[in-house]
Chain A
């Protein structure tokens, strides 16, 4: 069992009623520290349920989820979540707080000194490409969709957690902005080296970001491989997800 920073291990995880009522039926998944794993699958495959079992929003009915060597059942759930950055598709920026206050939420929960929080917020805003002097005091509704999602990423990174969970983070963005944020993500990931688990229904996004891709189907992992190997998959549960990618490539070549 891997107890090192950022390591995650799911061992025959069963969830009878997960996010949106979807189920997991025996998921095994080992993620090493610093890896970026994408979870792909159609709607209802159990991607979000799996993600939420990692930060204890969902506790498995059977099996275990081990984060940094400890079962999520043994973690204090609040400590666990404060050690895990979380980015939602809806972003969930608090409308009554400024950008800086949104980003500083977790440091404040952790009881950081005010000065340290301010400095750290400025750093992460700069890291996600939002100069703090321009954006720190803005409100969520004064930002574009892409800018909001950058704030969401900054908020997840603020307390420097070893793990980052992203639930369809770029799903609501236009393709140009999405491509831009993909580039930004790769730059940031090179800089900070987090364990990242990213849920997406878009295989292209998975290929663009992940070191390994897991395909979920009906509550089990159909295949888990590096992008190159996965691209040659013959698995009938994986092929349909690859189809659009291959068609696009054929059109372009």
Chain B
């Protein structure tokens, strides 16, 4: 019911995303047919030539889709954010089933029919179009069906590179931990997959029984090509760079989306820029690639993440040194690190507020003295990573009554509040820290690397638009960890729109709220 209400409230947006989704799948499937059918015929007729291509398609099929987006993003022509790279990835995934079934269909034509056609005086081309293709058509359509259904599913990942589609809701829902929003993407995608499957099944049956197959094939091909052209035009328009346009990116969780909005609105109001939002991109890796390829001009990164995940440096815990090192590394790539925004999104070792008060706990060191009678809950990743629990336990001599429980991050705050565990590692800026009255213990031995939030921008953009630099620098130190928690909470718990939350914050900022030094 909430799903229906959500979709009704977001009618226009939903229609747009659905259309994008259909265009993505339609265009990529059409192109895959145009490529895959000839390759399939070749594979059936000249196995030695076709085998390497089939092998390639096989290999492509095994690459996880997010990784594939990562490979393609920095490439010229095919790369870049948006529909283009998404369509190329979808084409690559659609190729294998189409090549396979075409080859099987053509090779599977009864030899006596081929012999009859030849003996009646058909040229190889006439044999192909009048006998082999019509008879292989049901098999080919079955392959297209598989490809299109896979495409509907894979296209949800396309939201990670800003291509839109129903995946937007899925990623948004995941980052907000809101099942309704996830379902708003997943359910229509599933329904779409079923419709595509059913529709193509009917086509397959019609071809099995039908007669004017050649003509139908040409009609289908024409429609597909028209569809492809339309999308190419749309994506070409999306891809052209315009004057005074700044593209702001963000990763795909609540805080990042709020910060993306915040920077976008600030650039619009203070910098007088036109801003294109490329929010909700699928992770650190994709944001970094997009920034370097010029598909976005700025996004907010965390110094510790940049240091370890982007540049693969050894863990360093000195705040100033990390910032300096990251700044230099980015500069080598033509990117500029702007002054920190003021808060840090680090791992937070959390305990219940009443425990903290009764036991006078302020630091992790304090907790280590009493933790022998406690149980702890950590995320899977935190339990495994060298800079996670193992190192933490060593640094503080932390120990528990039993081995720490592995828990999903979204459940960890509630588990603590409900006394299922007594200590957790959470997210310092999570809105749930306040919502459940939890207390974050200080990392007084500086075990965790610093995760200061800093805008990272293309140097060329800053040189070209000095107003952008001024606007971004004016945000230095203006967002405290409490501000960030409040904004996250407003989105995650109170279901407010990230754009509204960012707007309200900026309004307060401009009306002269005193900032903490």
Contact = CB atoms under 8 A, between A and B. Distances in A.
Contact of A98 (B113, B116, B211): B211
A78 interface: yes
A81 B113 contact: no
Contacts of A90: 112, 115-116
Nearest to B138: A96
Contacts, number: 59
Chain B contact residues: helix, strand, loop or mixed: helix
Interface in A83-108: 86, 88, 90-98, 101, 105-106
A81 B211 contact: no
7 contacts: A78-B121, A81-B118, A93-B116, A94-B117, A106-B120, A106-B121, A165-B119
Interface of B: 110, 112-113, 115-123, 126, 130-131, 134-135, 211, 213
Contact of A96 (B118, B120, B121, B135): B135
Contacts of B112: 88, 90-92
Contact of A109 (B110, B120, B211, B213): B120
A118 interface: no
Given A109-B120, A109-B122, 11 more contacts: A55-B119, A57-B118, A81-B119, A86-B116, A88-B115, A90-B112, A91-B116, A92-B113, A96-B134, A101-B211, A105-B122
A250 B123 CA distance: 51
Contact of B116 (A78, A88, A96, A109): A88
A57 B120 contact: no
- Size category of the A interface is 20 to 34
A176 to B, nearest CB: 25
A165 B118 CA distance: 14
Contacts of B119: 55, 57, 81, 86, 88, 165
Chain A contact residues: helix, strand, loop or mixed: mixed
B204 to A, nearest CB: 14
B123 A78 contact: yes
A82 B120 contact: yes
A94 B121 contact: no
Nearest to A92: B116
B121 A82 contact: yes
Contacts of B115: 88, 90, 92
A100 to B, nearest CB: 11
Contacts of B120: 81-82, 86, 105-106, 109, 155
Contacts of B121: 78-82, 106, 109
Contacts of A96: 134-135, 211, 213
Nearest to B116: A92
Could you say which of A86, A88, A92, A98 has the most chain B C-beta atoms within 10 Å of its C-beta? A92
Contacts of A79: 121
Contacts of B131: 94
A81 B116 CA distance: 11
B123 A94 contact: no
A132 B359 CA distance: 101
B499 to A, nearest CB: 57
A97 B116 contact: no
B356 to A, nearest CB: 78
A104 to B, nearest CB: 11
Interface string A67-84: 000000000001111100
Nearest to B111: A90
A221 B130 CA distance: 38
Nearest to A156: B120
Contacts of B211: 96-98, 101
Contacts of A88: 112, 115-116, 119
Contacts of B123: 78
A105 B213 CA distance: 16
A109 B118 contact: no
Contacts of A94: 113, 116-117, 131, 135
A250 B131 CA distance: 49
A110 B9 CA distance: 64
